[in-house]
Amino acid sequence: MKRWLKVLIPVVVLGGIGFGAVQASKSSGASKNGFTLVKVERGTITDKALATGQIVPEQEIQVKSQISGTIQECFAEVGDRVEIGQPLFSITPDPTPLELNEVERGVQLAEVAYARASADFERNGALWKEGILSKELFDASKQAFDQSRIQLDLTRERLALTKEGKLARAKGGMDSVIRAPASGTVLKRHVNPGDPVVPLTSYQAGTPLMTLADMGTLMFKGTVDEIDVGKLKEGMRVRIKIGALPDATVTGRLTRIAPKATEKEGTTLFDVEAAIENPGGVTLRAGYSANADVVIQEKANVLLLPERLVSFEKDKASVEVPGAVPGAQPVKKEIKVGLSDGLKLEIVAGLAEGEEIVQRPPKEIK
């Protein structure tokens, strides 16, 4: 009896080891070459173009002054909401001695010219009534009188603006208080009390005092590589990812594609703009860095496979599937593919959901 046990026990042990090895080979799908299996799954795939840029207002307004001087007081700070006509700055005129002297002398010359034109007009009027002076000469003297009166008013107004920064008129007076030209939020204040101000004229840009913008009309502005711009069209959906708000989902529509490229660090880029339709329930701020995915094409509930497992040869796609017998070498199978996002590939025909594909181990670099 003991002799039979000595023979039977090794046979049972060897049989169990062999059966376990076969089952392990079948369940893991791995061969002695280290192959692994990847299943075909269903999901959503998106072909998209990446745009890099930032969140900006649709329109920014720079506030400038029409009179020169120095800033006396500021009535609004960065972040404040202002309405049209609201005071922003008060300016104290600070003319040079030469400027003030020229304006005062201009008033004196205008007064002399007005007095002479007035006397001539009165004398010519009396002569015209007596029939001694012609109507043409009387009209000419009246025109000279009117011009001298207007010139005197102009020089006096210039003197008032130069000395006091204020001008009172029946229609459209001026003063040294700079008011908001439009409603919006103060993005930046460029000057402080005591800073000099150069006025805005037809021959000089003037000193920027403040920048305003309507924060209710923010947009995405960025650039797209020339490789992707040919696929884009206005109206495409855009998903915006903001670096400072990683959990926010901001969506919009592509509104503008630049007709001309720009060069940056040896790369050809095209400017794009997108209107924000849904801010994702978060407060957006001007200047946020952001990336925008412009959705070119999207398909849901399709068969997907990692693109690295698909081989392409002569416009034909194929994958490797396990052999019919465990341990056998993988065999090639031709398939038809569709949309790609660079990582995953849509399987149009040739494979079914749940089917396993062979993944070879990465090659060692020596």
Full pLDDT tens readout for the chain, 366 residues? 445 445 445 444 444 454 444 444 444 444 445 678 888 889 888 888 999 999 999 989 999 988 788 888 899 999 999 999 899 998 887 666 777 778 778 888 888 888 888 888 888 888 888 878 788 888 888 888 889 888 888 888 777 777 766 655 545 545 678 889 999 999 999 999 989 888 888 888 889 999 999 988 899 999 999 999 988 999 999 999 998 998 888 999 999 999 999 998 888 999 999 999 988 888 889 999 999 999 988 889 988 888 888 888 888 888 888 877 776 788 888 888 888 888 888 888 888 888 888 888 877 666
pLDDT for position 31: 47
- R_g over Cα of the chain: 41
Q: Provide the residue count of the chain.
A: 366
Angle between helices 135-163 and 97-129 (to 10 degrees): 160
pLDDT for position 12: 44
Nearest-angstrom CA–CA distance, 155 and 152: 5
pLDDT for position 29: 45
pTM for this prediction: 0.64
pLDDT for position 270: 94
Give whole-number Cα distances, 239 to 10, 104, 215, 274, 291, in Å.
66, 64, 20, 10, 8
Residue 80 amino acid letter: D
Nearest-angstrom CA–CA distance, 199 and 202: 10
Nearest-angstrom CA–CA distance, 319 and 332: 6
pLDDT for position 240: 93
Cα angle value 160/163/169 (rounded, 5°): 20
